[in-house]
Amino acid sequence: MIKTRFTEMFGVEHPIVQGGMQWVGRAELVAAVANAGALGFITALTQPTPEHLAAEIARCREMTDRPFGVNLTMLPSITPPPYAEYRDVIIESGVKIVETAGNSPAPHMPAFLAADVKVLHKCTSVRHALKAQALGVHALSIDGFECAGHPGEDDVPGLVLIPLAARALGVPFIASGGFADGRGLAAALALGADGVNMGTRFMCTAEAPIHHTIKQEIVDASELDTELIFRPLRNTARVASNTVSREVVGLLAAGAAFEEVRGLVSGARGRRVYELGDPDAGIWSVGLSQGLIHDIPTVAELVDRMVGEATELIQGRLTALCDSTAPALLDS
């Protein structure tokens, strides 16, 4: 068992988090993560209404009695979802852990703090993390450039970003972007993080509620098979490389406006990818960590394997490197 400030604060056994993922963060996956001793998040906006979110929380509770949370991602929109109503459902349902992302959680912090809800906020830079820390969030998730979804515009990878965060932050934080195995977990802990967040790796598990063909697509892909879309719009997102994402990249590079690609990147098309198993049906998020993924285990198998690998590395190889009486380690 690996204990950190994060596991102590959030009452979980392992310092591993399944973050919110649109269309993927549903009760069956979240419950499996919780039952494996890690921390999973239902994605609030996957549910079409706050009432549906309440039902999904109740469904998750039928499958686990361990801690889990809800992700509330707040993004700029002409017609924004009723964020306050989703927030109120989270509180009224008795959920005590929330992952916020996108815009600042400031408008929602008073309500969460009053309800004794612990807030884990996701950032892509140390400067944004410091602002969130000042707002009173309990912990932070720091996204490196390797991550799926929105990596920010600084292009700083985790190897640099994580130790920068460790130097600057006072609250516990987890590392996100590029993590898929025990080596990554051990590395994140060595760099100063209190755990890791994974999206792509949890998509490729038996319990993930997406089509098996998409899981196999991740297994077969390499770290080179992603695209960065919306770069000219300074709203960069890392997605799977397919006919749609490559078309979007080409159009925007040629000077197209967002309105000209809106239909290509719609959420409804992305949802069909997961439901129909057609990797070219739309845009879908995936990170560089897909290059490290070679199987589709159960969540329990994945978590146990990761913790075992990390523990063996920390207690074995890394300890031996510091032991002057041990023979030199020549094997990786």
Contact 18, 39 (CB under 8 A): yes
> Could you please report the per-residue DSSP string of 220-261?
H--TT-EEEESGGGT--EEEE-SHHHHHHHHHHHTT--GGGT
Question: Is residue 327 a part of any domain in this protein?
Answer: no
Q: In terms of domains, do 219 and 150 share one?
A: no
Encode burial over 184-217: b for 16+ CB neighbours within 10 A, e otherwise.
bbbbbbebebbbbbbbbbbbbbebbebbeebbeb
**Mean pLDDT confidence for 162-187:** 98
Q: Examine residue 156 and state whether it is found in any structural domain, yes or no.
A: yes
Over 70: is that where the pLDDT of 141 sits? Answer: yes
Residue 27 CA to residue 62 CA, distance in Å, equals 9
Would you say residue 329 lies in a domain? no
Cα angle, residue 136 at apex, residues 30 and 8 outer, rounded to 5°: 50
Of the candidates 124, 132, 178, 176, the residue with the CA atom closest to the CA atom of residue 155: 124
Q: How many of the other CB atoms lie within 10 Å of CB of 131?
A: 15
Same domain, 177 and 315: yes
Q: Has residue 330 been placed in a domain?
A: no
Cα separation, 6 vs 140, in Å, equals 10
Residue 325: other Cβ atoms inside 10 A: 5
Please state the rounded mean pLDDT for residues 127-156. 97
Q: Are residues 217 and 97 in the same domain?
A: no
Residue from 71, 35, 311, 47 nearest 176 by CA: 71
Q: How confident is the model at residue 329 (pLDDT cuts 50, 70, 90)?
A: low
pLDDT tens per residue across span 3-47: 999 999 999 999 999 999 999 999 999 999 999 999 999 999 999
Residues 107 and 219 placed together within one structural domain of the fold? no
43 and 183 assigned to the same domain: yes
Statement to judge: residues 164 and 222 lie in one domain:
no
Residue 328 lies in a domain: no
Residue-number span of the structural domain to which 229 is assigned: 212-288
24 and 172 together in one domain: yes
Tell whether 268 and 171 lie within a shared domain: no
Are residue 157 and residue 264 in the same domain, yes or no? no
Collapsing DSSP to helix, strand or coil, 211 comes out as coil
Q: Has residue 247 got a pLDDT over 80?
A: yes
Helices 126-135 & 158-168 angle (0-180, nearest 10)? 40
Total domains in the chain come to 2
DSSP symbol at 264: T
Mean pLDDT over each residue of the chain, to the nearest integer: 96
pLDDT score, position 332: 45
Write the single-letter amino acid at 165.
A
**Is 221 inside any structural domain?**
yes
Q: What pLDDT does 328 receive?
A: 55
Span 256-284, mean pLDDT?
95
Please indicate, yes or no, if residue 326 is contained in any of the structural domains: no
Enter the DSSP assignment of 99: E
CATH at 187: 3.20.20.70
